[in-house]
Amino acid sequence: MLAAAASPWWSFGAAPLLLVAALGLWDLLQRRHTVLRNYPVLGHARYLLESIRPEMQQYFVERSYDGRPFDRDTRSIVYERAKGTAAEEPFGTERDVYATGYEFLVPSMAPRPVPETPPRVRVGGPDCTRPYGMALLNVSAMSFGSLSANAVLALNGGAAAGGFAQDTGEGGLSEYHLRPGGDLVWEIGTGYFGCRTRDGGFDPGEFAGKAAHDSVKCVSLKLSQGAKPGIGGVLPGSKVNAEIARVRDVPEGRTVVSPPYHRVFSTPRELVRFLARMRELSGGKPTGFKICPGSRRQFLAVCKAMLDEGTAPDFIVVDGGEGGTGAAPLEFADHLGTPLTEGLLTVHNALVGTGLRDRVRIGASGKIATGADLVKRLVQGADYGNAARAMMFAVGCIQAQRCHTNTCPTGVTTQDPRRARALHVGDKTERVRRLQEATVAGALQIMASMGVTDPAQLRPHMLRRRTDPYTVRSYDELYEWLEPGRLLDEPPADWAADWKAADPDRFTV
């Protein structure tokens, strides 16, 4: 206006401002970058720093919640696969292959062709009338409320497009889980959200009604999670809007605290009976539980209860202490919870040793981001894997660590409609699908190079670890692997005391 009315010299100031305004408009309309949609113009500073110094991306985009970040290669693979671009890197690995703790998978001199169709894992034991074919990699537990509606829609849309499952997390079954039509594992936590009585107990009628939905393929009882075993979840009142309150059966605007323990059982035997009841209420769908294993004695007590009751869960998800995408006390994240490797070995061996392994499938959850991660977990005893953090990256998470403040800059973990709208569901749905597809393809390619065409052919000697600068040992040598039924016949010395003390009628400390 000044250039037109006063003096043309004002055009020198008007032109840059018009260009900035045009850039801001473009940022608001584009769908690829959620940061730019929420922070037009200013958000470009982040990408400028990345282009000048690629290492800045590791700070701005890929910081770890718990101070133990993915290495550079892992981060690159996750982002490139989600975007659908090549993941090859020149000049080889940057890992120190002579460092103590370095692990590697053993290639074969006779590689096999890569299977054209990824295998599925049949989940459902003899008591299950509606078994489910689980994909090798699925979306791990993340609740609506912790995640925005758009994030849940994108995750479930990716699951529907890619033919894999999404775990709902313990926050209830929402329309955003159901609308895209992806397969669901409905998780029930200690708060019994979505099937909750007024006093916070379990409502069997509401549970049965929702579990009957066609999209619900499995139901899962959460005992504990990797980030914070032994304590319940917290959803700040600022995120509990009317919709979330309705989904969770809780008061609006009040902080929701899940208790650390279940009210429906107090002994291993009662746990096993309740799981059988959940299966019956769900119409025979696969039923299991999620746990970050702790005491081996207590898990053996659950195995004894399974034997005594003549029934067992159809699956067990082992959550590693290194996992967890939600907020947790730092002491818990750093010092409590069994790492996934040891947890898998405990659960797998206990089930094998009690003769129950053939009827119980094991899922692994805890920083699974690449095909190599998945293959390692399959070697260690898992049948399939679940990923949370990598899937959050796919929908736009930059790990700003504002999840609990309701001010997530990319709309992933907020209930603020203005921030959440920046997450474009269609674009992020495709990223989720691409990440899962490419990760499973990578796992199959690795297995083929090891001379294996099916996960059931993987063996402990195929994974090795450097134990010191001069020694490499296989998992077959590092750990004890029980023979089927060994605990029932003659427990080995290392297991004998725990097996004897395990009591199916109480959780022995």
Q: List pLDDT tens digits, range 373-385.
A: 999 999 999 999 9
pLDDT at 463 over 90: yes
Give the C-alpha separation, 330 to 393, whole Å: 22
pLDDT at 59: 44
pLDDT, one tens digit per residue, over 271-324 is 999 999 999 999 999 999 999 998 999 999 999 999 999 999 999 999 998 866
Q: Are strands 183-188 and 216-222 parallel, antiparallel or unpaired?
A: parallel
Contact between residue 194 and residue 249 where contact means Cβ atoms under 8 Å apart: yes
Is domain 121-452+496-501 classified as CATH 3.30.70.870?
no
**pTM for the full model?**
0.88
| Residue predicted with more confidence, 255 or 473 | 473
pLDDT at 225: 85
DSSP secondary structure string for all residues of 224-292: --TTSTTS--EE-GGG--HHHHHHHT--TTS-EE--SS-SS-SSHHHHHHHHHHHHHHTTS--EEEEE-
Q: How confident is the model at residue 78 (pLDDT cuts 50, 70, 90)?
A: confident
pLDDT at 69: 52
| Residue predicted with more confidence, 241 or 328 | 241
Nearest CA to 473 out of 101, 111, 97 is that of 101
Q: How confident is the model at residue 234 (pLDDT cuts 50, 70, 90)?
A: confident
Terminal-residue alpha carbon distance, the chain: 78
pLDDT, one tens digit per residue, over 101-114 is 999 999 999 999 99
Contact between residue 362 and residue 347 where contact means Cβ atoms under 8 Å apart: yes
Q: How would you list the strands of the sheet with 471-474, edge to edge?
A: 103-105, 463-468, 471-474
Mean pLDDT of the chain: 88
Task: Please state the separation of Cα 181 from the chain's center in Å.
Answer: 19
Beta bridge partners of 289: 221, 316
pLDDT at 15 over 60: yes
Report CA Rg, the chain: 24
Average pLDDT score over residue span 484-499: 96
Give the C-alpha separation, 112 to 242, whole Å: 54
pLDDT at 329: 66
Domain positions in the chain: 16-60, 121-452+496-501
pLDDT, one tens digit per residue, over 414-443 is 888 888 888 999 999 999 999 999 999 999
pLDDT at 64 over 60: no
pLDDT, one tens digit per residue, over 160-200 is 999 999 999 999 999 999 999 999 999 999 999 999 999 99
